[in-house]
Amino acid sequence: MELPISFKERMQRLLADEFSNFEAAFAQPASVSIRVNSNKATANPDLPRVPWAENAYYLPVRPQFTLDPLLHAGCYYVQEASSMFLEQALKQAVDLSQPLHVLDLCGAPGGKSTHLASLISEESMLVSNEVIKSRANILAENVAKWGTGNVLVTSSDPSNFSRLPEFFDVMVVDAPCSGEGMFRKDPQAINEWSEENVKLCAQRQQRILMDVWEALKPGGLLIYSTCTWNEQENEENMAWLAAQEQAESIKLELNQSWGIVATELNGVAGYRFYPHRIQGEGFFMAVLRKQGQEGLSHKSSKKKKYKLQPASKKEKALVQDWLKDPEKYEWLQYGEVVSALPANLFEAADEVYQNLHVIYAGTEVAEVKGKKLKPMHTLAVSQHLNKDAFTTIDLDLELALKYLRKEDISLDSSGNDWVLLQYNNVPLGFAKQIGNRVNNYYPKEWRIRMELPADLPEVNLVIS
């Protein structure tokens, strides 16, 4: 791998005697890591752990993840290990037992958003944003599969968040960057790299930070990260923001065995991940606290007219038993879709709807078709699904993958009702049984597109 000359020169200055080990790491294969959804699955105890994240593991080889139905069911997420350091920032600097408003500004494809959803309390709300519509749809898919039900996925420009002043307790900005830390994993990133692009990225990051800063409440926390190593996009940007807004740098405790490098510029602490020191790719993180009185009160727009519309009593009565603890939800209806949102989040969620473009929220439960109701796929993968409300059928690996490819399948049963299809007792989605015929209702935009091999490998990474 031929690294850019100016990049090598800078890294030699930064790393001194360590540079030869750093350069040699690019010849090694990238590690493979997953983060397990503990509300759906139990990890294989023989897998080595990612040391800074509780439910994260390294895999010895990279399997064909597409052929594992448990991935599609939201049992785990394939995520780069370095980025999971987000967990340490949250656990060390935030009281996660409190009801929080959290923003993941650059959320796609969903690694940090699903991680945040696992860390915050059920009473908290996560707004997961992605400005690019196509990527926002992928983000919504992964959030729905994770299934916590307290996430709103938005597709809005960072400048729009000024409409929600002092709204968020925590902001995560995994900023678009020059991608130096991904050179080993994505060699194409080398061809796109230049000193000019580094400068442009640093300027763009400053604009993004200033666009959203007003939405962070006094005493709130900004967690900033990139997958690059240059100081312009990292330490210099954080020192600039701290000086501009008199923000406080938050230092995190590190275990020396982790191999993470702590840095400091103008009193602002940062944390660097190098592939020759840790089992993962390049990464940087810093944590700042906004100046002002800390507290959990949120400003309200005090609009008396809500944008969110309640579902009718009739529709609510028909679908409320499809979720566990139905009394905990506000039941809403947009067009033909009936959704459930935790009742304590209703007013805050309505503020988000009033000011941002929301593409997915809570748990979409059912689609109303005249006098008929169709259970939504997002209900099947929700952590709050009441499985007792449906007939369940367990599929073997071959049938599960055919279902996920949205192929016609046959079941050894008959009837005239909705059935919940499972794999290893984990829900995959719904089908409609009409006599001996089965209609496959797996979402066509989520379907597996690869051809299935003749001999299917049994992918058993997660369930012990």
DSSP secondary structure letter of residue 43 = -
**Mean per-residue pLDDT, 147-153:** 98
pLDDT over threshold 60, residue 139:
yes
The answer to whether 201 is a known catalytic residue is no
3-state secondary structure of 227: coil
* Residue showing tokens 């100046």: 291
Q: What stretch of H or E contains 437? A: strand 437-440
Residue 185 to residue 198: CA distance in whole angstroms: 19
> Can you give the pLDDT at residue 462?
65
Domains of the chain: 87-289 (3.40.50.150), 306-388 (3.10.450.720)
Chain mean pLDDT for the chain: 94
Per-residue pLDDT tens digits for 319-371: 999 999 999 999 999 889 999 999 999 999 999 999 999 999 999 999 998 87
**Mean per-residue pLDDT, 265-286:** 98
Is the whole-model pTM more than 0.75? yes
Tokens for 438, please give them. 């089965």
pLDDT over threshold 90, residue 269:
yes
Binding residues for S-adenosyl-L-methionine: 130, 157, 174
> Can you give the pLDDT at residue 125?
98
pLDDT over threshold 80, residue 296:
no
> Can you give the pLDDT at residue 147?
98
DSSP secondary structure letter of residue 438 = E
**Mean per-residue pLDDT, 90-103:** 98
Q: 286: number of CA atoms within 13 Å, CB side?
A: 27
Tokens for 173, please give them. 């900005």
Tokens for 135, please give them. 């990527």
Binding residues: 130, 157, 174
Strands (E), 209-336: 216-226, 248-249, 261-265, 268-273, 283-289, 329-334
pLDDT band, residue 436 (cuts 50/70/90): confident
φ/ψ of residue 173, rounded to 5 = -120, 95
Amino acid identity, residue 106?
C
> Can you give the pLDDT at residue 303?
54
> Can you give the pLDDT at residue 250?
98
pLDDT over threshold 90, residue 416:
no
**Residue tagged active-site, from 75, 106, 201, 227:** 227
pLDDT over threshold 90, residue 302:
no
Range list of H helices, 26-103: 69-72, 86-93
pLDDT over threshold 80, residue 375:
yes
- Percent of the chain exceeding pLDDT 90 equals 89
- Percent of the chain exceeding pLDDT 70 equals 96
* Residue showing tokens 């060390």: 92
Q: Which residues contact 139 (CB under 8 A, 6 or more apart)?
A: 107, 108, 109, 110, 113, 128, 130, 153
